Every structure is written in C-alpha cells, then in structure tokens.
Amino acid sequence: MTDSTADPPAEEGGAFVEPGKLPVWSWFGSDERSLVGITTLAVVLFPWLLVRAPVVSSVLDGYQSLTSLILIWGIFALGFNLLLGYVGMLSFGHAVFWGGAAYAAGIFSAQVNGSPILVVLFGTLIAVALSLVLGVITLRRSGIYFSILTLAFGQMFYHIAQAPLSGLTNGTNGFTDVDVGNLFGFLDLFGPTESIPLSTPLPVIGDWMYLFVGTFTVLTVVAITRILHSPYGLVFKAIRENEQRAEFVGLNVWRYKLMAFVLSGVFAGVAGSLFVVQGGYVPLESLNWTTSGEVVMMAVLGGAGSMVGPMLGAGIYIYVENVIAGYGAIQPYWHIILGLIFVVVVVVFPDGIWGIPGTVREKLSDSSAEERGGEN
Amino acid sequence: MSLLETRGLTKEFGGLVAVDDVDLDIQEDERVSVIGPNGAGKSTLINLITRMLDPTDGDIRFKGETITDLDPYDVVQMGVSKSFQTASIFPELTVEDNARIAALAAEHGSFKFNFLRHQNHYSEVAELTQETLDSVGLLGQRDTTAADLPYGDKRRLELGIALASGPDLLLMDEPTAGMSPEETQATVELIEQVKEEHGLTILLVEHDMEIVFNVSDRIVVLNRGGIIARGTPDEVQGDPRVQEAYLGGVEL
C-alpha cells in the first residue's frame, strides 16, 4: 500500500477535502458562510426598512444618510466590543483611534489623494500606529488603572489637536477641507444608485455611499467572526475569565492583550475614516472623551460580548440622537431619554438589549426552579 | 543532572525572610514533597519557582538553565506547570475549552500571529485536549460550563489544565485542600495515575500527612523559610527536629 504513507485528509465542515486543494469558499466554516449571508441580507434590507418601506419607514421617520451613519458607528462599536466584550478590558480612549483616523483621513484627502479607498486605508493605518503606541503604554496597568490611562491619553490627543496642532487640524472649528473624490475615479458616492443605469442591481440600497459603507460592514463582521473563531477568540475569553491562569498555562498574556487592543483599533480606524468620507468634515469632538463614552454606551446598551449587540446599540443611539432628538418638544431632553434607557437596560438586563430574551428565559427558569424548591 | 535545582534561594518581604537560603535538588522522575508548619515558606517557594515572585537572592535552574530572569509563561513553556491551591479555572468556559486553552499554549508556544486562522485547522490541539480530559476523567463532562462542576471535579479540571501544558515538572500546591476523604483518596489515585501516564516529576506542597507519606519518594521539611530536614518518608518521620518543629513533638 503506497498511499498509506500519505497524510490523512483533513476534515473540514464534516466533508473530507484534500489538503492544498481547498476551494476558496471552504476558508470559511459552514457557520461563517451563513453568517456572511445573513449580514449581507440585513445590510441590504436595512435602508429599505428605515427609509422606503411602507408604514414602517414613516413610523420610524428615518432618512438615507442616517443608514450609513448607523453602520459606521456599528463598525466602531463592534471593534470596541472585541476588547470590552471578549477580553474584558474597558478602554476609555478609543476616541484617539476614531478621531485620529478621522483627522488622518481628512488631511490625506485634502493634501494627498481623494480616493475613498486610499483615504480609508490611510486613516486605518494611522489608527493602527496610534493603538500600537497607546497599547504599549497603557497595557502596563490593568483594570481601572488601564481605563484611566486610556482616558488620560485620549484627552491629551484632544488637547493637542485643539491648540498645538491647530495649523494642521484647524483647531476648535474642526477640519473642514475634506475633499473625498469619486470611488474608482468615476462613482460619485453621494449619487443615488439609480444614477448609473447599467448598474442598478439594488435600488433598495439608496446611494453608493451606503453600498461603500455596507461593504466595509460585512467585511468587519466577517473579520471579527474569524478572529473569534481563531485561537485568539479562545485566548481572549481565557484572559477575561482568569488572567493569571492564562499566564500560567504558558501564554504571553501581555502580547495577546496588545493584539486585542490593536485589532479593535483597526476597526475604530476604519469607522473613523468612513465617518469622514461620509460626513465630509472632522469635528474636534471626534477626539473628545464623549466619543469614547458613546462607543462604551453603544456596546453595553446593545449587549457586549455578542456580535449583534454593539450594532444594535449603535443603531439605537444614533437613531435617538438624530431622529428622536429632532422632535421639537423632546429636543432638549434627548440625552436624558438615552440615559434613562441606558440605566434601565444596565440594571434590568445586564446582557444588553440583544441579551433580553436570554435574561428573561434565565429569570423564568430560576423562578420556576424556586417554585419547585418551595413545594418540597 | 537535577531536573530542578535551587541554590541559595532567598525571598524577603520587608524584614521577613520567607524563604531563607534554600538549596533544593529534584531528580527526574522523582516525587518530592515539601512540608512544614503554616508560614514556613512553602507557597512562597513554589511561587519563586514559577516566577510569580522575584527572588531576593539565589538561583533557580531547570534542566541546567537558569530561569531566574524569565517570565512565568516562559517557565511554563520550558516544562514547569503548576496546579493551583484553589481551583484556578476559566469558570464561564466549557470544560473542553478549559483544557483546550492549555493545549493551545502547549502546541503554539506563548504567542502566535494566527488571528485569522480557524481553530478547526489545529487538529493536534484538539487531540491533546481530548487526551487530557480523558486522563483526568472529565471527557464525559466536556460540554459542561466549568463553574457548574462540583468542587472535586473543578480540582480535577485544574489538574487537567496543568497537565495539558505538557509539563516535565508538575508543581502541586495542596492538591487536596478542602476535599472530603473520598475526594482526597480519588485525587491521590489520580496523581499516581497521571504520573505514570505522563512520566512526570512532581513537587508537592501538602498539609495532609497521609498523602505526603504515601506519595513521596523524598520529603523536604521547611521551617521559618529554611530547610531543617530532608530524606525518605521514614527518615523524616523519625527526625526529632521535624517532630519538634512541625509535629509539635507528638509521636505519629
């Protein structure tokens, strides 16, 4: 038997596939394939639901640019959640990566090149560099000290952008010279998808900007899912559960934490850059602690530690901020409304809005177990 | 050559000398127990060897190489694994994932740049995980959340995590603390069994005299940080200094 010496074929998704001849699609696990499908479908249907669907859209009172904005903050929250939900580290300085990428993207578009893809790439690169530097410094401490260090460095960057670097950033007024060109040189991102008759495959989407942002959203979900399915996913959870034990099974915990920090910085960078491509303006506030606080609220509100939660939290937050806050009588109180929702969710449903079904089920089974216990 | 040796190992906390000039030699395949009254410096000694604490003075050599300036994870990667006094597990993860994380560290080293590669591609990690769970008898509970295990099983899992790291030297800090007599008996049998299966050298820190005298080839007696006696269980049992310091002069 000559072939008995050959390596046994690797098992992949229940089917035998010869090593080295894996089809591209099999790079994904079967569960990942369905996830890509579901995410794509959700991204495609979302603007239709919010802007164009009969009845629903008029109740929701949404508008087109809101859809892109929600996805952008969703990408930010998903990346942030990698750190908070899976490694259990609370960063209060993620504005540095969001805002740093935003400024980098804006300045790049004005002075070097306006190609949306290059702008996002450059902004993300700067966010990676910033997260690497900040990570090396702040990860020397853990717990509350880590959070405070990230907050302090975040505010440092805010004040640096405000005054010493105002020649570059335009200070308090924000950077207004953003000049993002057409995608691939000919697609106006703000044009409606119908603007190019040849390619109107998805008129439900609304505009090219949404398609651009939506593509990054799907890529983000795929990338984060893959990270969580990689050995890193398990290592992150192990660090969250018992950092000392993780060290004492032989893992370089510090380096894995740094990787988690940088990876979450990548997505903050993608989101911050997209924010500029979409908004055409870099507000100074993008570096302020309020931005760091907003992403914490989004992740916790929706449900940290899940994939849907942070996106949901971002959606609710941005929706309240932009739509509910627009109703005349409510306008002065929208922060209070959001704060109340936040407090209720955190107190009653610690797993966030996405975790409500699970929390309710748990409480029901607990109380029924208590009843049974009482009968005995 | 000794598997593990310490020379003049000393640890001071402020004015207190917790470990005082300890020379220890552990040969391969040996089972050595460290005993001593409370505060004798037993746990500090273990913590020095695992590099959780920095020694004030002295040297620790493992397989002939000094490990005094290594990080804890490096020491584990070299083959020194520790089973904790309290069940130090990953409570919200499944039993299988608890063992898998240690298997992963054993197979991949302390750090690897593979965050885009699916876990399913690492069959050797899965095999090691399965073997480990099998040898501590927890394969049937692989899908249970670790926090839901009874205490005895948590300690078995704790031992499993230590074993999955593929150690040459296993440090056990009071493996039967807080256990019922039945659980203690089961643990002693488990220690014997894994020692045979994995060809381990064991350094045991223990209060329970019965276990110490049953399981050890050699015993080292610590008192106030220093070694006051060493030898076979019989020699140590008969040593008047030991009876004075540790057994309070009571005849066993």
Q: What do you get for the CA distance between the two ends of chain A, in Å?
A: 66
The confidence band for A16, taking pLDDT boundaries of 50, 70 and 90, is very low
Alpha helix positions (H), chain B: 42-49, 72-78, 95-108, 123-135, 151-164, 181-198, 209-215, 233-238, 240-245
Q: Could you tell me if B106 and B154 are in contact, meaning their C-beta atoms sit under 8 angstroms apart?
A: no
**Residue A372's pLDDT is what?**
61
Q: Mean of the pLDDT values across residues B54-59?
A: 94
State the burial class of residue B222 (Cβ atoms within 10 Å of its Cβ: 0-12, 13-18, 19+): buried
Encode pLDDT of A31-41 as tens digits.
778 888 899 89
- Chain A hits for B92, CB-CB cut-off 8 Å, are 237, 241
Residue type present at position B163: L
The number of CA neighbours under 13 Å toward the Cβ of B103 is 22
**What is the longest distance spanned by two Cα atoms in chain B?**
63
Give helix then strand counts, H and E, for chain A.
Answer: 15, 2
**Residue A371's pLDDT is what?**
64
The confidence band for B75, taking pLDDT boundaries of 50, 70 and 90, is very high
Encode pLDDT of B29-52 as tens digits.
899 999 888 888 898 999 999 999
Backbone φ, ψ for residue B25 (5° rounding): -130, 125
- Chain B hits for A252, CB-CB cut-off 8 Å, are 71, 73, 110-111
Q: Mean of the pLDDT values across residues A198-225?
A: 81
Encode pLDDT of B166-207 as tens digits.
899 999 988 888 888 888 888 888 888 888 888 899 999 987
* Radius of gyration of chain B measured on its C-alpha atoms: 19
- Chain A hits for B83, CB-CB cut-off 8 Å, are none
- Note the Cα B21 to chain centre separation in Å: 21
Q: In Å, how far are B35, B38, B244 from B247, measured between CA atoms? A: 11, 12, 6
Distance to chain B for A361, nearest Cα, Å: 18
Which CATH number fits the domain that encloses residue A179? 1.10.3470
What is the reported pTM? 0.88
pLDDT at A192 over 70: no
**Residue B3's pLDDT is what?**
93
Which pair of tokens denotes residue A59? 């109740």
Q: Which of A238-252, A261-275, A283-297, B216-230 bottoms out in mean pLDDT, i.e. has the lowest?
A: B216-230
Encode pLDDT of A280-325 as tens digits.
999 999 999 999 999 999 999 999 988 899 999 999 999 998 888 8
- Domain count for chain A, please give it: 1
Q: Which residue of B has its CA nearest to A8?
A: B123
Residue type present at position A43: V
Q: Is residue A313 part of a domain?
A: no
CB neighbour list of residue B196: distance below 8 Å, 6 or more residues apart: none
**Residue B145's pLDDT is what?**
95
ipTM, two decimals, is: 0.90
Please state, as a whole number, how many other Cβ atoms lie within 10 Å of the Cβ of residue A85.
Answer: 25
Q: What is the mean pLDDT of chain B?
A: 89
Angstrom distance (rounded) from CA A311 to CA A298 = 8
CB neighbour list of residue A100: distance below 8 Å, 6 or more residues apart: A126, A127, A130, A157, A269, A272, A287
CB neighbour list of residue B82: distance below 8 Å, 6 or more residues apart: A248, B46, B50, B76, B162, B170, B171, B172, B173
Q: Is residue A104 part of a domain?
A: yes
Q: Is residue A197 part of a domain?
A: yes
Using the beta-carbon criterion (under 8 Å), do A245 and B111 form an inter-chain contact? Answer: no
Q: Is residue A119 part of a domain?
A: yes
Q: Is residue A368 part of a domain?
A: no
B89, B111, B122 member nearest A252 (Cβ): B111
Q: What do you get for the CA distance between the two ends of chain B, in Å?
A: 35
Q: Is residue A216 part of a domain?
A: yes
Q: Could you tell me if B135 and B193 are in contact, meaning their C-beta atoms sit under 8 angstroms apart?
A: yes
Q: Is residue A374 part of a domain?
A: no
Using the beta-carbon criterion (under 8 Å), do B116 and A230 form an inter-chain contact? Answer: yes
Using the beta-carbon criterion (under 8 Å), do A231 and B72 form an inter-chain contact? Answer: no
Instruction: List all residues of chain B from 58 to 77 with a beta carbon under 8 Å from chain A.
Output: 71-73, 76-77
DSSP calls for A153-205:
HHHHHHHHHHTTTHHHH-GGG-B-------BTTTB-TTSBGGGSGGG-S-GGG
CB neighbour list of residue A20: distance below 8 Å, 6 or more residues apart: none
Provide, rounded to the nearest whole percent, the portion of chain A with pLDDT above 90. 55
pLDDT at B103 over 90: yes
**What is the longest distance spanned by two Cα atoms in chain A?**
83
What residue numbers bound the domain in which A214 lies? 29-288
Encode pLDDT of A99-127 as tens digits.
999 999 999 999 998 899 999 999 999 99
pLDDT at A165 over 60: yes
Q: Is residue A202 part of a domain?
A: yes
